[in-house]
Amino acid sequence: MSNTDNPYAEGCAWIDDGYVPIGEARIPLIDTGFTRSDLTHDVVAVWKGKFFRLEDHLERFESGWTLLRMNPPHDKDDIRKILIECVRRAQLQDAYVQMIMTRGVPLPGVRDPRMLQNRFYAFAIPYIWIFQPDQQEIGCHLVISTQTIRIPAKAVNPTIKNFHWGDLVRGLFEAYDRGGQTVLLEDGDGMVTEGPGFNVFACHDGVVRTPREGVLLGITRRTAIELATEQGIQVQEESFRSEVLRSSDEVFLTSTAGGIMPVTIIDGQPVGDGKPGPITLRLRDRYWLAHDEKRWTTVVE
């Protein structure tokens, strides 16, 4: 079958117990996953025909829906099969695969979230880069927001991966206004948190730091920590202020959508010598090599 004959070529979704082309994938307007953003989700990558750390993503997803007290219509084994089938139908070698569990559609007049049947959606589309590989050669321009703080963990638990992006999108517009490409938010105490879809790392004299509180515990974040440790690089998970980033030798971002991505400018000022640094590049190389390692991969077919 040629790609143009494949109705799923632009992506394949799972909706209401069936597969549909991504362009036709729709959810009920009154699903409280939409009208209350009452949901959890996860994003896993497929690279060269293999899922990367699928089991870790499934585990986090399950932990999220459990903390939200949901009773999903599918278990992890079902979900694994559905995700694989979405990628298979779309015939994607490199894919961005998202799974979403929502509270569900209320019966008329019902506002009690305990009364709803939870719903599962999923889709696979071509791999998405927060920063394309050619942009990563130069490094990206990060703005640290002065107007918007990250939603605190005491309001919304950031370790339950969610779609509460109002703060992140607001920050993104500020970053664009200030000539940047993406944004990093601080918490209410001025501590560095995260940005739209990524964690952040700072390297100082060979030591790598990343925040642990008030952020999603990203799987790419975890991978960067594990790969660094394997390479004998010291990693510290701890809170720090944005001054630490500004005075770093190297700064990088981690995300399933783009991997390990160098930051070379912060608020218009170069980071270190203004070029992607050696630790960042070493970890980035190791990161992509790891996508072929048995310990972390699941073959699609």
Give residues in contact with a second copy (CB under 8 A).
Answer: 10, 13, 15, 22, 25-30, 33-38, 69, 98, 103, 108-109, 111-114, 121, 123, 125-126, 128-130, 147-152, 154-157, 162-170, 172-173, 176, 188, 196-197, 257
Query: What is the smallest separation between the CB atom of 170 and a second copy, expressed in angstroms?
Result: 7
Of 273, 29, 38, whose CA–CA distance to 139 is shortest? 273
Q: Which is nearer to a second copy, 233 or 257 (CB)?
A: 257
Angle between helix 219-230 and helix 278-290 axes, rounded to 10 deg: 110
SS3 16: coil
Question: Minimum CB separation from a second copy for residue 197, in Å?
Answer: 8
Give me the residues paired with residue 14 across strands: 19, 122
∠ CA 159-41-93, nearest 5°, is 120
Compare residues 96 and 296 and give the one whose CB is closer to a second copy. 96
CA atoms within 13 A on the CB side of 118: 22
Q: How far is the CB of 293 from a second copy (least distance, A)?
A: 27
Taken as a whole, the chain contains a residue count of: 301
Q: How far is the CB of 107 from a second copy (least distance, A)?
A: 11
Instruction: Name the minimum Å distance from CB 164 to a second copy.
Output: 5
| CB closer to a second copy out of 211 and 277 | 211
Report the C-alpha gap between 148 and 157 in whole angstroms. Answer: 18
Q: For a second copy, which is the closer residue by CB, 153 or 233?
A: 153
Smallest gap from Cβ 26 to a second copy, in A, equals 4
Output the CA torsion sign for 283, 284, 289, 293. positive
Of 94 and 237, which CB lies nearer to a second copy in the complex structure? Answer: 94
| Residue with Cβ nearer a second copy (150 or 284) | 150
* Four-CA torsion 266, 272, 274, 280, nearest 10 degrees: -90
